Chains A and B, each alone.
Chain A
């Protein structure tokens, strides 16, 4: 790994039966990211449980209850690196609370690997995983057709599965999809091409992970800069310094550019882009910087600097897709808190348009929402929010809902 290595975050979707753990284990193993003491620990446990081969899921099952019960409770993050990229894998348990965990892990991912068993083809759960990936807006999808060794490496079978999958994905408007035939067990088309899939001319999984272009996963045109913190050193040297600190969520900015402060609508120009490593002429998403302005305007945390072609919306009411995360159902009579970019405000739900059945994608009427439910809702917020639609900008289109009584995070939302 060199100093120019890029970072890629991805998740894997599929059940243990699809060979998910074997796939992750092999990626880690073949990239030399499993250490000897880890390997010996999971080998011992696998043997103790009477397994013939090493169970790589033990690597990610970090909690005592998980190891005792042989289940996965929660999203685990694993890390590995190759000379080209550093990878963060969000590994999600396959069964209960699946929606909640997958949405959580998917929210930061550039890419999802959806696993299907070549013998079984596209299943209900494949559709569910794909729908969730599209809902959370993961930019790149890989359909990994695993266990090709179990179908005699049949090209016809692979083509059949791909055709069915692509047809389904097209209905969801998904376009960036790569289908790869592989065998995680044997190792074909993961890191090495292997000798069994000569008819396949495409990329191996590792080659794709290392090379897929992710630079344009963020919106590069419309500048979005939520103010996180106002820096006022009040020292002799920096007596009049007022730096508006934050992270550029989208687009870019240069010294001299005009910006609009929302929701107030006041405008000014960027005087300096300040960082610990010196002043910059220009900065880009996702850099964390401090901006000073030519004019003295009243600005505080929660305001957003914007510039560029498309203006965001400023409104107190909007519709959103919501994933309910809490065991306590939604109560439409209650007020909740919404946290959106750097602004937190009171909110309420003014209606549920429909709930989505994640298995069939059918829409149903709903009076409330339970854990793992996905629904289109109408919301009202006490103060105006500055937002884009989630499909335009993940950072300014996403929010969480907090129950003030328990302080729990009860829902995740994507503005329509």
Chain B
């Protein structure tokens, strides 16, 4: 081969996105090959949309060797849920939805109030779903740059029979040789996009021309200004006495529980404009948008120890 061609390939064509993509595909194929009954968690959010494209790249022209699973808090944005269903149909893949309401009916989740954030209780329904289907591995779209306890999590993260994460007792992870072994009743959470950042996700969405729910782009919305950020007005979030509802042009950087996910003011109408905004933003993704991560320095870590993603 001509050296010129080689140099073009190695130095110019193989970008950081290519490197991240190839790593993620490799991880997903390891899961498919070594785990007996894996699942891929798909919420309709941007990270899990990227995960689906990576799964297409890993397994097409065949079907995915695992179902898609969503733990629905029923506190989700309706645009995201309809997107979730549409995408699963387009891909022709099996989607399993389990609802937090099931756990509430069974009595395994007890809420203090109807409008309380449900993020923390997702773990209960997730663990019940894992038990129902006997999943030994669940792939999720969490990233290490999201939160500082995630920065120390392995790509293959072992959970005991209670679904718990023990940060002090993690398996060493070397090269890209992954230890996928579990005993019956235990399981592994796998994070194929661990090494991606928010910026990488947006660049990939742009490069792959991925469709994402509209609420990620700038739109007008009624919001309430609260100390932690802007709260979107919905059935579940209504102004308290003394609070004023205003219309603002906003977009969501993350989409989670509607009662604790804040939009940011933005005019970005497409992925390219979001990339430009992301390049200059001075606030982290979760710091700007998640009320539940602002409660303590360790709120994510505590949730993860309970079985959360």
Contact = CB atoms under 8 A, between A and B. Distances in A.
A79 interface: yes
A368 B160 CA distance: 29
Nearest to A401: B179
B56 interface: yes
Interface in B146-173: 147-152, 158, 167-168, 170-173
Contact of A276 (B6, B18, B56): B56
A399 B178 CA distance: 10
A77 B62 contact: no
B179 A409 contact: yes
B174 A76 contact: no
Interface in B277-303: 279, 281-284, 287-288, 297-298, 301-302
A237 B298 CA distance: 51
Contact of A228 (B26, B172, B173, B279): B26
B175 A77 contact: no
Interface string A289-303: 000000000000100
Interface size class of B (residues with CB under 8 A): 35 or more
Contacts of B1: 252, 282
A220 interface: yes
Interface string A260-302: 0000000000000011110000101011100000000000010
B278 to A, nearest CB: 10
B33 A301 contact: yes
Interface in A392-416: 394-395, 398-400, 402, 407-409, 412
B35 to A, nearest CB: 12
B114 interface: no
Nearest to B19: A7
A228 B10 CA distance: 23
Interface in B1-18: 1, 6-7, 9-12, 14-18
B10 A215 contact: yes
A94 interface: no
A85 to B, nearest CB: 7
Contacts of B26: 228, 247, 288
Interface string A232-263: 11110110010101110000100000000000
Given A74-B152, A233-B61, A247-B22, A284 B14 contact: yes
B30 interface: yes
A229 B145 contact: no
Interface centre among A38, A67, A231, by most chain B C-beta atoms within 10 angstroms, is: A231
A104 B174 contact: yes
B150 to A, nearest CB: 7
B171 A63 contact: no
B57 to A, nearest CB: 4
A1 B151 contact: no
Q: Taking each of B62, B207, B287, B288, which has the highest tally of chain A beta carbons within 10 Å of its own beta carbon?
A: B62
Interface stretch (B41-49, B125-133, B194-202): B194-202
B176 interface: yes
A81 B104 CA distance: 44
A325 interface: yes
Contact of A75 (B152, B195, B203): B152
A6 interface: yes
A3 B15 contact: yes
A151 interface: no
B151 A288 contact: no
Contacts of A341: 177
A37 B284 contact: yes
A394 B151 contact: no
Contacts of B59: 231, 245
Contacts of A277: 57
Nearest to A246: B29
Nearest to A245: B29
A44 to B, nearest CB: 10
Contacts of B22: 247, 286-288
B29 A64 contact: no
Nearest to B168: A73
Nearest to B176: A108
A339 B16 contact: no
Classify the secondary structure of A's interface with B. mixed
A206 B82 CA distance: 46
A237 B61 contact: yes
Given A38-B284, A276-B60, A5 B15 contact: yes
A316 interface: no
A282 B1 CA distance: 10
A29 to B, nearest CB: 12
B30 to A, nearest CB: 7
B183 A407 contact: yes
Nearest to B17: A3
B88 interface: no
Interface string A51-80: 000000001111111010000011111110
Contacts of B150: 62
A88 interface: yes
B171 A74 contact: no
A81 B199 contact: yes
A35 B148 CA distance: 13
Given A325-B172, A339-B177, A409-B173, A228 B61 contact: no
Contacts of B29: 228-229, 245-246, 288
Contact of A74 (B32, B167, B179): B167
A339 B19 CA distance: 23
Contacts of B167: 63, 65, 73-74
Interface in A281-337: 282, 284, 286-288, 301, 325, 337
A286 B25 contact: no
A62 B148 contact: yes
B9 to A, nearest CB: 5
Contacts of B36: none
20 contacts: A6-B19, A38-B284, A41-B297, A64-B297, A64-B302, A73-B167, A74-B168, A81-B16, A107-B174, A108-B174, A229-B32, A229-B33, A232-B62, A238-B61, A247-B22, A247-B25, A284-B6, A287-B22, A398-B174, A407-B183
Rank and list the top 4 A-B pairs by shortest CB-CB distance, nearest first. Answer: A62-B148, A37-B287, A7-B16, A233-B62
Interface of B: 1, 6-7, 9-12, 14-23, 25-26, 29-30, 32-33, 56-63, 144-145, 147-152, 158, 167-168, 170-177, 179, 181-183, 194-195, 197, 199-200, 203, 207, 279, 281-284, 287-288, 297-298, 301-302
